[in-house]
Structure 1
Amino acid sequence: MSFDARRSKLSDLLSNARYYMPRNQRSYVWGQDNWADLYEDIMISAEEDARPHFIGSIVLMDEGQSEGLDEYNVIDGQQRVVTITILLSAIMHQLRKRNMEPDFKGTRKRILVCNNKGQDVPVIAPE
């Protein structure tokens, strides 16, 4: 199996794609130090005049397309992908709590989890 390394923007990774964590992946084990490091990297990347900034590697296996979405198995970087998803879910939850729903409607559909039956379940269900 060969790999092709390339730089990608976080926003590109999160657009029009569905990610699967194979069952053989380890349990989620990241703690506060890991979260803080990733958050700091994201904040550096988000600065207005920021140059590209490496926030860690994610290794994906292309599984084709389904329902107009690219599908990938996450081979490595699952802790990072899950943490980013948790962070985005928390941001969306806070926006909803503050009645700022129009500020996140564009991303709501993209944060889903897939249960063991292969069904997509929204992380934040519409009210």
Structure 2
Amino acid sequence: MERIVERRNLIAYTGDRSGRGRAPIAVAEVKADLAFISAILEKQLLQEDNRRLRQEVERLKGAVRGSLGQQFDQFGAADLGTRVDELMAENELLRAERDNALSQVKDLTKQLNEVQDDLTGTRESLRRMMRTEKAP
């Protein structure tokens, strides 16, 4: 590949395809052009490597997705059914606890109202008693 590039450069500078009657070529110009061509080739090689690596990454991502999906399918059905049953049982237990707590709140509210009524009645009785004792 390098020989081809060198030959093309030589032809471009001398205009002689036979290779016999070469005109003098500035070495610095040839080196600069070779460095430029080398950079272009390196860039192309890197682009090809990047393209190949991107394809490999996409292939591996697909493999991981497939593997995860397969694992989910293997363990998912039985485990999900069991987990749903556990959650349903826990939900029923929590509902029963909630209903019990609401019942207790209702009972305590009723008791509080009764105690407040008793307190109000006791205050009124005490006031009447104090009035009757003061009135001679």
Instruction: Compute the TM-score of the two structures, normalised by the length of structure 1.
Output: 0.25
Report 1 or 2 for greater relative contact order, CA contacts < 8 Å, sequence distance ≥ 6: 1
Q: Max radius of gyration: which structure?
A: 2
| Structure with higher helix content | 2
